[in-house]
């Protein structure tokens, strides 16, 4: 059995698209692969209730509970590893997980962690990608799925989806079109990973 763990911080729209693809594609029955856990660092994350309603196991590890520690990020990451280990993750999927993960955590799960980023990497790493793309005058934007490395948004690119930037685009209209492509791209990449690791 292969176990996938999905980390979210908010509504979890990419998590939803992955879970729907898992159900439709019968990942459990056909590939012996399951979404073993959906975890959020935010107790208020909207995606948690949806995941529970789908019968998925959920858990919360609130990063704010570690702010008093001498090394808050390291303490949170240690706790996160301890929380994930019982689920024996073969793949960790970052789906709108709004915490930068440090070298300790990334190293522990090296080669096992994917992220999706709303730009055509290596362009526009970090935040405010759509605003920056429009301001730069680029003709194409998009989304990238990549392996997570110790450098933010710099891991090896697995696949990308390209979205044209229209003259009428605003930050929000471009973001909406890119998100539509994310919901197609991420589940497809994960399904390909499953098939390639059988």
Q: Please, which pLDDT band fits residue 63 given cuts at 50, 70 and 90? A: very high
Q: Please, which pLDDT band fits residue 109 given cuts at 50, 70 and 90? A: very high
Nearest-angstrom CA–CA distance, 137 and 98:
27
The answer, yes or no, to whether residue 198 has pLDDT greater than 90, is: no
Question: Annotated catalytic residue: which of 63, 104, 108, 117?
Answer: 117
Number of domains in the chain: 1
The answer, yes or no, to whether residue 111 has pLDDT greater than 90, is: yes
Q: What is the pLDDT of residue 29?
A: 97
Query: Quick one: tokens of 182?
Result: 């994310």
pLDDT in tens, 118-159: 999 999 999 999 999 999 999 999 999 999 999 999 999 999
| Residues contacting residue 24 through CB under 8 Å, at least 6 positions apart | none
SS3 for 131?
Answer: helix
Q: What is the pLDDT of residue 67?
A: 95
The answer, yes or no, to whether residue 11 has pLDDT greater than 90, is: yes
Q: What is the pLDDT of residue 103?
A: 94
Nearest-angstrom CA–CA distance, 148 and 73:
17
Domain hosting 112: range is 2-196
Task: Report, as an integer, the average pLDDT of 157-177.
Answer: 98
Decide: pTM greater than 0.75.
Answer: yes
pLDDT in tens, 72-99: 999 999 999 999 999 999 999 999 999 9
Residue 92 belongs to domain with CATH number: 3.40.50.170
pLDDT in tens, 43-60: 999 999 999 999 999 999
Question: Is 104 annotated as catalytic?
Answer: no
- Reported as type and span, the H/E element at residue 38 is strand 33-40
Would strands 140-147 and 58-60 be described as parallel, antiparallel, or unpaired?
A: unpaired
């Amino acid at each position: 059995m292969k176990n996938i763990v999905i980390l979210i911080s908010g509504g979890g729209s990419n998590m939803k698209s992955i879970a729907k693809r898992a159900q439709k594609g019968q990942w459990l029955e056909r590939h012996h692969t399951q979404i073993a856990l959906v975890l959020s660092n935010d107790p208020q994350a909207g995606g948690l209730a949806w995941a529970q309603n789908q019968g998925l196991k959920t858990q919360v590890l609130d990063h704010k509970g570690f702010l008093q520690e001498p090394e808050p990020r390291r303490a949170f990451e240690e706790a996160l590893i301890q929380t994930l280990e019982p689920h024996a993750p073969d793949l960790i999927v970052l789906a709108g997980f709004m915490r930068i993960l440090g070298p300790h955590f990334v190293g522990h799960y090296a080669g096992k962690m994917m992220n999706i980023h709303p730009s055509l990497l290596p362009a526009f790493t970090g935040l405010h990608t759509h605003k920056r793309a429009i301001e730069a005058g680029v003709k194409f934007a998009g989304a990238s799925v990549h392996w997570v490395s110790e450098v933010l948004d710099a891991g090896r690119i697995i696949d990308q989806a390209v979205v044209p930037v229209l003259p009428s685009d605003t930050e929000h209209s471009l973001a909406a079109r890119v998100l539509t492509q994310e919901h197609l791209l991420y589940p497809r990449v994960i399904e390909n990973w499953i098939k390639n690791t059988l």
